[in-house]
A and B are shown apart, each in its own frame.
Chain A
Amino acid sequence: MDYKRDIPLAITFIVGVIAIGDYYTGIEAVTQTFNVIKNWGIVLQGFALGLGAVNLFRVHGRRLSARKEGTDWYFSGWLLLMLVVFIGLGLVTGEYEQGATYSWLYNAIYLPLGSTMYSSLAFYMAYGAYKVLRARNFDAALLFITAVLVIFGNTPIFPAIYPGFFHMREWIFGPIVSGAYRGVRIGIGIGAVVLGIKTLIGMETGYLGRR
Chain B
Amino acid sequence: MAILTPGRIVPLLALILVWVAVYIAINMGKEGKIKVRRIAGLDAIEEVVGRSVEMGRPVFDIIGMGTFTDSYATQTVAGLSILNYVAGLSARLGAELIAPQAKVDVMPVAIELVRDAYNVEGKLDELNVDEQLPYLSGTQFAWASGIIGMAARRRPAGNIMIGPFWAESMMFAETFDRIGAMQVGGTARTYQIPFFAALCDYCLIGEEIFAAGAYVSGDPAQIGTIAAQDWYKLAAIALSIVGALLSTVGVNIIAELLSR
Contact = CB atoms under 8 A, between A and B. Distances in A.
Direct contact of A and B (CB under 8 A): yes
Interface of A: 20, 23-28, 51-52, 55-56, 59, 114, 117-118, 121, 124-125, 127-128, 131-133, 139-140, 143, 181, 184-188, 190-195, 197-199, 201, 203-204, 206-207, 209-210
Contact of B80 (A55, A191, A201, A206): A206
A110 to B, nearest CB: 11
B171 A121 contact: yes
Given A26-B4, A194-B22, 6 more contacts: A114-B141, A117-B145, A190-B18, A197-B22, A203-B22, A203-B221
Given A27-B3, A132-B177, A185 B190 contact: yes
A51, A133, A203 pick with most chain B CB within 10 angstroms: A203
A195 B174 contact: no
A181 to B, nearest CB: 7
A20 B19 CA distance: 13
A136 B104 CA distance: 41
Nearest to B111: A210
Interface in B218-253: 221, 225, 228-229, 232-233, 236
B121 interface: no
Given A25-B3, A184-B206, A210-B109, A194 B228 contact: yes
Contact of B141 (A118, A186, A197): A118
Given A187-B233, A206-B77, A24 B4 contact: yes
B3 A191 contact: no
Contact of B198 (A25, A27, A132, A194): A132
Nearest to A20: B15
B188 interface: yes
Contacts of A185: 190
A87 to B, nearest CB: 15
A28 B225 CA distance: 34
A100 to B, nearest CB: 25
A117 B69 CA distance: 26
Main secondary structure of the interface of B (DSSP, over half): helix
A28, A198, A209 pick with most chain B CB within 10 angstroms: A198
A56 B143 CA distance: 12
A192 B18 CA distance: 11
A188 B192 CA distance: 14
Interface string B7-36: 010011001001101100010000000000
Contacts of B233: 186-187, 190
Given A128-B174, A204-B77, A209-B109, A24 B5 contact: yes
Contact of B232 (A26, A52, A117, A190): A190
A206 B19 contact: no
Contacts of A27: 3
A187 B211 CA distance: 12
Nearest to B1: A26
A26 B68 contact: no
Closest 7 pairs between A and B when the two form their complex, measured CB to CB = A207-B68, A117-B141, A52-B138, A195-B74, A26-B1, A24-B12, A124-B174
A192 B71 contact: yes
Contacts of A198: 22, 225
A139 B198 CA distance: 9
Contact of B206 (A187, A194, A209): A187
A3 B144 CA distance: 39
B40 to A, nearest CB: 11
B139 A52 contact: yes
A25 B170 CA distance: 43
B236 A186 contact: yes
B135 interface: yes
B27 to A, nearest CB: 12
B112 interface: yes
B171 A55 contact: no
